[in-house]
Structures are given as C-alpha cells and as structure tokens.
Amino acid sequence: MKEISIDDVIKNIRLKTTPAGIKLIREAYNLAQKAHDGQKRKSGEDYIQHPLHTALNLAKIGLGIKTIIGGILHDVPEDTQVSLKEIEEKFGSEISSLVDGVTKLGRIRLRGSQEEIHLENLRKMFLAMAEDIRVVLIKLADRLHNMETLDAVPKEKQERISQETMEIFAPIANRLGMGEVKCQLEDLAFKYLDEKNYAYVLKISQEEQEERKQYIDEMIAELKKKLEKEGIKTLEIYGRSKHLFSLFQKLQKHDMDISKIYDLAGIRIIVSEVVNCYEALGVVHKKYRPLVGRIKDYISLPKPNGYQSIHTTIFGEKGKFLEIQIRTQKMNDEAEFGIAAHWIYSQQKRSLRDFFFRKPTQVLPKELSWTKQLRDWQKELGKNSKEFMESLKIDFFKNRIFAFTPKGDIIDLPEEATPIDFAYKVHSEIGNRAIGAKVDKKIVPLNYKIKNGEVVEIITSREHKNPSRDWIRFVRTSEAKSHIRKFMKREGMI
C-alpha cells in the first residue's frame, strides 16, 4: 500500500477542528512514531504506517479528534514500552479509555479451549460496543487496514482472519449502517476465503468494463441535461459498480447467470432535499420506462439500520437495464459511513461528549438504543459465553426486518421472528398476556414468521398471563426467550 503521513490524516478529517485539536493529533503521532520506531510489519513497511492508516480510515468516515487519536495510539500500550498510564497523563482519561478498550479486544487472557477463548473475545467485543461504540469503530478501521495488507501473512492466518472478518466484523459494520466499510471488508475476505469464485466474479465484472463505463458516462450526461431542464439541482451524479461479494451473492441466486443481474453497474444521483429525490424520480421515469417491481422507496420506509434512498431499475438507452439510486447528501453519507455520519450532522446540536457520556436519565439516541440490549443480555447470561454468542447469532447477525404496530410504530426484528417476538419487543406484559395475533388484519398462528413491512396486532388477555413452554421452541429473539423463562421460573414451571 501507498505510504502516508500524518498530514494525509489531517487533511481528510471531516468534522470541524481547532488548531488545538490538530496539535493534539500531531503530538499523538509523535509519541506513536517514537514508540514504534524500528518496528516493522510482515509486509516490511514501518509499523507506524498501520496506526496511520487506521487513523485515516477513521478520519474519512467522519470521526472526531479523540477517536482519531485513539486510532493512532491503539497499538502503543500492547506493542511498545509506553504504558496506558503515560497515555492517560498526556492525552486524558477519555482517550486512554478508548485505547484500553481496543487493546482488550485484541487480547486473549482466558485458559481453555480455542472455542471458549474465541467466544470470550467476541463477548468482550460486544460489551465494549455497548459501553462505547467508538472502541468498535477503531477496531473496524484497524481490521480494514489489516485486511488490505493480508497478502504478507501465511495462508492459514489469511483464512482465519478472513473468516472472522466475514462472520464478525462485516456484520458489525452492517448493523452500524456502515455500508461502504461492510462491502470493503466482505470483498477483501472473499478474496482469501474463495479464491476460485473471487477470480471468476472479478473476471466477469471486468469484462466489457470500458464499454460499460462509456455507456454509464453517456447516461449520466443525458440525465444531467434532463434534470437541469426540469429545474432540479443535483449536487453530484456518478456511476457505481457492484461490490464483488455482493455480486457473487446475487449470482448464486440466479444460477451464476450474469445476464440476470440488473444492477451490475448503476448511477447515483445526489440532490439537496428529500422533495428533490421524488422530483428526480419523476424525471427519470418520464424519460425511461421503469422495470415493474424494481422500485424501492427506502426514504419513506428506511431499512432497520437507517439506510435511506430511492432505487429504481429502468430500461436505459440501447435497451439495457440500469439501476438508479436517488438520495440526499446526508442519506449518502449515512449509507456509506452509518452511525459515524450522525456526528457530522448533529455536531451543532450536541457535542461528542454529550453523545457518548449522557446522564443515565438522558434518552439513548435511537441509532444506538440496541446496544443497551447487548448489555442487558450479558447481565442475564453472566459468564455463559456460548449462550451469549447464540443470542448474537440470532439477534445481531441475522438479517433484520421491520414490522409495524397498528399505530405505525416500527419494530426492528431478526428475520423469521414471530408475533411472540414482536409482542415482547413492544412490552414484556404484552408478551406475557398474548393469546393471539393478527397480521395485516388476518388471524395468524403465534409461530407465524413475520415478513418485512407487515402490520402486527397482538391480541391479549386481561385476566391471565399465558406464556407457554412451547413458545421457547419457535421464538427467535433472546429477549422473548428471556421473558418466557423468567415467567416459567417465577410460576414454578421450571
């Protein structure tokens, strides 16, 4: 990889900074450079390049001064003679806490089998996330650079790190709404986990690349002209190619037939306001015929991780299919950088300190509320790492769906969740008193698998609490299982 300097990090910082903040970053760099002096990576480059690239990744996704400094210093206590106490004395307890959190995630302290050690490490990671998301953001930035330089390590280690990246780190990035980071991690891991299919997908994605680029450029020019004529101001229009692992997943669904993939490449239109998104969609459909069933409005119905955009597939020039995505700049930043983008747009409303170090009585920001659930599960499960990991497999890594209450409130659930999961998500008493359910006004069994966008109504009993032992067999969320077990234990049923 190209060598970078601290100046490259500084010029990529997206949040507003002060001279004092920049000075602090340079001081952190000077300390790290001195501490890592003489150390080399497996690739042969100076070790300081790794923390610099980690910090650069953090700067690009919109993190602030303290998180970037945490990235610069994240390997210092572990790999050098400089202690965590010295970091605290020089940079304060908040930064030293971030560095300590990242250090702990990388350590294996427990005795026992490899599986137990692995599960314990994962548990620590999620607990750290629940305490301070910035620790995990630094870890994601660290992992991204490690994956970019994975060629230098032995094959066995490449496969182990890639598997962990695919199963753990990419889903975390996805859950945080960091689509670009998630896709980069998946593509890098895919390269080492499935070399044959990676090479095949790379080959077909590169075929006719020049012709495809020329076609996209012509379509962009035509769209710009049309939008301008209709008085719709665009901030940016650009072409985009499908990420390799995402393309592979689509190919698998279509018998590896590339002709059935409509969004191999596409165009993204960035506008100023939400209303302009719908105006631009009207112009696109006036000019080009849309493909029926391929219009998705994630602005009025956002994905559970906060993703917003309008997607439409059209019959473009020369009869070719083309996907168009339309969104505001804010939506685009949030789609690529997820939770980090919230800080850029909320900076004037609240400081980073307010965001993370709120008083217990303050409301947890909506985009972080699910992290409290992780802490609650951990308290209930104690030291049982295996059970904790099973919870995460179901609730955290599963694809998410959203269903609605009759009043229109959105309930975020894992795929295959049932009305009982829904009920306990709304309130424990509703779950305990559930006797039936309606989905889109039709009676369904309690083990019915809810689909994305459905309206769920729970029928309850006023007189009795009704949790059944049978419910444990079909509910999908740890929250529901926990409440059912608590009820049965209290009633002497177990």
The model's pTM is 0.76
267's enclosing H/E stretch is strand 265-271
In the predicted model, what is the mean pLDDT of the chain?
85
pLDDT at position 297, please?
Answer: 94
Do 62 and 14 contact (CB within 8 A), yes or no?
yes
Catalytic hit among 3, 7, 37, 78 = 78
Q: Is 79 a catalytic residue?
A: yes
Q: Which CATH number fits domain 6-193: 1.10.3210.10, 3.40.50.970, 3.40.50.1820, 3.40.50.2300?
A: 1.10.3210.10
* Range from 237-241, 308-312, 334-338 that averages highest in pLDDT: 308-312
pLDDT at position 2, please?
Answer: 87
pLDDT tens digits for range 100-111: 988 877 653 333
- Number of neighbouring beta carbons within 10 Å of residue 239: 16
Q: Which residue has the higher pLDDT, 71 or 377?
A: 71
* Range from 114-123, 128-137, 377-386 that averages highest in pLDDT: 128-137
pLDDT at position 107, please?
Answer: 55
Catalytic hit among 27, 46, 79, 279 = 79
Q: How far is CA 459 from the centre of its chain?
A: 34
- Percent pLDDT > 70 in the chain is 86
- Judged against a pLDDT cut of 80, whether residue 306 lies above it is answered with no
Q: Is 78 a catalytic residue?
A: yes
pLDDT tens digits for range 428-438: 999 999 999 99
pLDDT at position 171, please?
Answer: 86
Q: State which fold the 202-337 domain adopts.
A: Beta Polymerase; domain 2 (3.30.460)
Q: Where are the domains of the chain?
A: 6-193, 202-337, 398-490
Average pLDDT in the 191-220 region?
89
Do 141 and 57 contact (CB within 8 A), yes or no?
yes
- Judged against a pLDDT cut of 90, whether residue 389 lies above it is answered with no
How large is the angle between the packed helices 339-346 and 329-337, nearest 10 degrees? 140
pLDDT tens digits for range 332-371: 988 888 777 766 665 544 433 343 333 333 344 554 566 6
Q: Which CATH number fits domain 398-490: 3.30.420.40, 3.40.50.970, 3.10.20.30, 3.40.190.10?
A: 3.10.20.30
* DSSP type of residue 20: H
Least confident of 242-246, 264-268, 358-362, 391-395: 358-362
- Percent pLDDT > 90 in the chain is 52
